[in-house]
């Protein structure tokens, strides 16, 4: 009996030793890790980010979709390889027996594959790219434009779509087990609503694309609200391949609407409006001989053209520098500078929280005591620099008598589709109604009868002014000129302000006039 008990005890000790040896083997051979992965394996189908809409709640991002399938690798799943965008990758993953995701060509739903529609953040020909901006390579953070300025808000409204599989200790899908789908805010419609009108944005981009402007911009603003409905800069870039644009000519990553440039004759209407406010007779004539001397400096009209007897309207039509030099000498310069300050020349504009323009440069009163500097200022030269956004504000003042602050943010939309509207800008009166009426008439005449004939339209009354400004920058021995066209329509009751700028142009009428006209006519149509 005693021998039997000892033998039984020895047998139990032997079995226990085998068991401990097996445990040690599992621990040190990596099977413990495999065991820990058993149970559930998840794959991410897609991630979303807060939406960005135009003013009519049309998507400016996430407007296109791709099909992503959750794949259950099992006997028979290889028959669907033809549906995969990358067949080679899919074949390798199936052989591992572990679940994965794959982009597919068509919708599919069977025991091996189930496809889901996943939004693509940027479309192939992304619109409003300079305003919207782009994301980091992992898609988690905005690096420019609206994506950066409102990164926190857009990230808060992100979502994720996950599919879970029951797997064994080696991570292989268990046969006959169902998939589990977890939609964590993936289909939320919450996001930011911009003032941009998608149709007008495309009109503006197409007008630039059809033009000779290779490096420049165009911006369109509603008169009543100050809301920017289109903002386009060229050249553009692919937000999914930003690196490609880093070293390209003409700085495609820079939003030129926000930069400052030399101004030129597009500034003359503000000098004219100031003179009218000062009570100067617009019918008084000046005899232009093609040049004029101020102190020891001689100033010329374009190509030294002698314009003969001109008044305020004809001087605007012909863009006579000498007339405006004579006019500014009669004008209250402090009044003009106050008007410039009120408009915001020399101060940065905030078009959205975190998106600011350059400040521009406004000469001070002390500098303008020098007759030569004052003469340059009369036709928008010298140290004067403005942004296209400041030009919008200036022409809004000329068209309406009011100052308004441009904006690109309309409001926000929550996940239920409710919109919280931003407070509308409050206009500030700067010019009298009499001056505004005369400026509308004169700027209409510039396109109808003057040197801005490329902006003349047969379907809508367009009012505006050209500008060609020396930049002080030389390329291959030639000075680069900034060319402009700024104006509004309809001339008699303005609804939109439009500004076009070319960084390296020949003339405002030839470069920018046709773009201005195309934008205006397309909006009307």
Residues 6+ apart with CB under 8 A from 4: none
Q: Are residues 355 and 436 in the same domain?
A: yes
Domain stop point among 136, 163, 194? 194
Q: Is the pTM of this model over 0.85?
A: yes
Beta-carbon neighbour count of residue 281 at 10 Å? 10
Domain boundary among 179, 194, 209: 194
Q: Could you tell me if residue 32 is inside a domain? A: no
Same domain, 237 and 376: yes
d(CA 280, CA 272): 9
So what's the pLDDT on residue 411? 96
What is the DSSP secondary structure assignment for residue 158, as one 8-state letter? -
Whether residue 35 is contained in a domain is answered as no
Residues of the chain predicted below pLDDT 70: 1-38, 175-178
What's the rounded Cα separation, in Å, for the pair 286 and 460? Answer: 32
Domain match, 95 and 232 both: no
Give the pLDDT of residue 40. Answer: 82
Last residue of a domain, one of 194, 214, 236: 194
Both structure tokens of 142: 């905005």
Pair (108, 217) in one structural domain: no
Please report how many Cα atoms fall inside a 13 Å half-sphere around the Cα of residue 414, on the Cβ side: 5
What's the CATH code of the domain at 246? 3.40.710.10
Pick left, alpha or beta for residue 436 (phi over 0 → left; psi -120 to 50 → alpha; otherwise beta).
alpha
Determine the pLDDT at residue 22: 52
CATH number of the domain where residue 156 is located: 3.90.1310.10
What pLDDT score was predicted for residue 183? 87
Same domain, 170 and 246: no
In the numeric block, the tokens 């500014």 are attached to 328
Which strand ranges, in their side-by-side order, compose the sheet holding 159-167?
39-48, 159-167, 180-184
Assess whether 281 and 422 both reside in one domain. Answer: yes
Asked if residue 24 belongs to a domain, the reply is no
**Residues 217 and 171 reside in one and the same domain:** no
State how many domains the chain has.
2
- In terms of domains, do 176 and 135 share one? yes
pLDDT of residue 414: 93
Q: Looking at the structure, do residues 429 and 472 belong to the same domain, yes or no?
A: yes
Within this chain, do residues 419 and 312 fall inside the same structural domain, yes or no?
yes
pLDDT of residue 479: 85
Q: Does a structural domain hold residue 90? A: yes
Shared domain check, 278 and 251 = yes
Q: Is residue 31 part of a domain?
A: no
Report the number of secondary-structure helices (H) and strands (E) in the chain: 15, 25
The reported pLDDT for the residue numbered 27 is: 44
Q: Which domain holds residue 68?
A: 40-194
Tell whether 203 is covered by a domain: yes
């Amino acid at each position: 009996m005693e021998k039997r008990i000892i033998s039984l005890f020895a047998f139990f000790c032997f079995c226990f030793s085998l068991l401990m040896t097996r445990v040690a083997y599992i621990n040190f051979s990596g099977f413990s890790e495999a065991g820990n992965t058993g149970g559930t394996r998840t794959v991410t189908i897609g991630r979303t980010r807060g939406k960005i809409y135009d003013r009519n709640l049309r998507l400016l991002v996430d407007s296109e979709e791709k099909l992503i399938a959750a794949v259950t690798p099992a006997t028979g799943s290889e028959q669907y390889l033809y549906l995969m965008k990358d067949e080679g990758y899919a074949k390798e993953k199936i052989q591992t027996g572990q679940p994965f995701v794959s982009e597919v060509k068509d919708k599919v739903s069977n025991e091996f594959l189930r496809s889901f529609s996943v939004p693509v953040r940027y479309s192939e020909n992304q619109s409003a790219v300079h305003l919207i901006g782009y994301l980091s390579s992992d898609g988690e953070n905005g690096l420019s434009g609206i994506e950066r300025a409102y990164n926190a808000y857009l990230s808060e409204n992100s979502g994720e779509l996950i599919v879970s599989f029951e797997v064994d200790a080696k991570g292989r899908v268990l046969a006959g087990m169902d998939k589990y789908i977890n939609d964590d805010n993936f289909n939320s419609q919450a996001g930011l609503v911009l003032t941009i009108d998608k149709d007008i944005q495309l009109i503006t981009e197409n007008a630039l694309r059809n033009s000779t402007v290779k490096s420049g911009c165009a911006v369109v603003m509603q008169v009543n609200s100050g809301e920017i409905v289109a903002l386009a800069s060229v050249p553009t870039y692919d937000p999914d391949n930003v690196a490609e644009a880093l070293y390209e000519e003409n700085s495609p990553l820079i939003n030129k609407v926000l930069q400052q440039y030399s101004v030129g004759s597009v500034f003359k209407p503000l000098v004219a409006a100031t003179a009218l406010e000062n009570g100067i007779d617009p019918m008084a004539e000046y005899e232009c001989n093609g040049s004029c001397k101020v102190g020891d400096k001689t100033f010329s009209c374009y190509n030294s053209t002698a314009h003969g007897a001109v008044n305020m309207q004809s001087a605007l039509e012909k863009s006579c520098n000498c007339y405006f030099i004579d006019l500014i000498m009669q004008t209250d310069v402090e009044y003009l500078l106050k008007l410039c300050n009120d408009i915001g020349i020399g101060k940065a504009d905030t078009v959205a929280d975190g998106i600011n323009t350059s400040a521009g440069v406004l000469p001070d009163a002390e500098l303008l005591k020098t007759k030569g500097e004052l003469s340059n200022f009369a036709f928008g030269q010298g140290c004067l620099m403005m942004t296209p956004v400041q030009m919008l504000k200036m022409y809004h003042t000329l068209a309406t008598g009011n100052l308004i602050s441009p904006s690109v943010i309309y409001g926000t939309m929550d996940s239920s589709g409710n919109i919280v509207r931003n407070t509308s800008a409050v206009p500030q009166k700067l010019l009298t109604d009499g001056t505004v009426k005369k400026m509308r008439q004169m700027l209409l005449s510039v396109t109808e009868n003057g040197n801005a004939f490329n902006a003349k339209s047969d379907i809508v009354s367009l009012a505006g002014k050209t500008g060609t400004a020396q930049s002080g920058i030389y390329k291959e021995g030639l000075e680069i000129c900034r060319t402009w066209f700024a104006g509004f329509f309809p001339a008699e009751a303005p609804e939109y302000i439009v500004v076009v700028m070319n960084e390296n142009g020949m003339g405002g009428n030839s470069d920018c006039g046709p773009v201005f006209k195309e934008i205006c006519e397309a909006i009307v149509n």
